[in-house]
Amino acid sequence: MQYGLMPKLMWIAFKVTFEKALISELNVHNPKEVMKKAHKDYKMILSEVDEFDKESRFVTNILSCSMLTAVLMNLVPRPTVEQVRNYYRKAMSDNFFMQYAAKHSNSYTVKGREALKADAERSQKTTNPYDWRFTVEDGETINQYTATFYTCGICYFMTKWGFAEYISAMCTFDYDMAAMNNTEFTREYTLADGGPYCDCHYNHKELRG
């Protein structure tokens, strides 16, 4: 993947919260130095990631995973899974751009759901191991749906780079992201834990005001 506009913007947008979380969650005393080294590793990592199709909606997932991995490469000693879970959730949840994206999801509109289903159909043809293949099923109302993922780019990515134990830590953020949009998120299985798929159930609660 080229270090183009989107990877650059991703780094700029999330650098501050990733750096602050180093202090609050991991007690790192040299956060700026860690982030400076991580930036170099971030660009190196992305140079080995396959290019995504323009239609893929999961590019930012891989970019955030690349940022986390680059940071982890520069932490000694290696943090525990629980520490990384708290670090990633803090770095992502406290970020304005992440909050905005989560709160303005269009998946609970007719047009947005149609786009999601179209992306799911296209995903069946992907050959990029860093991308996701998934299906979408409607719920009883437009505010409910299930997305079932049969491949996971993060699982492939983190395993390749030797950080597989942290995959489940990243998965936890799915609950936080849904909560930002007043959505109940549940699942029974995850690929990270050896399940046959990730069954992601969304139940959006409209705000009354």
pTM of this prediction exceeds 0.85? yes
User: pLDDT at position 54, please?
Assistant: 87
Which pLDDT does position 207 carry in this prediction?
A: 65
- Under CATH, which number does the domain 5-204 receive? 3.30.1380
**List of the chain residues with pLDDT < 50:** 209
Q: How many residues does the chain have?
A: 209
**Can you give the residue ranges of every domain in the chain?**
5-204
Q: Quick one: pLDDT at residue 180?
A: 95
Tens digit of each residue's pLDDT (9 = 90 or more) over 129-143: 999 999 999 999 999
Q: How far apart are CA 18 and CA 35, in angstroms?
A: 8
The overall average pLDDT reported for the chain is 96
Quick one: pLDDT at residue 206?
79
Q: What is the pLDDT of residue 55?
A: 87
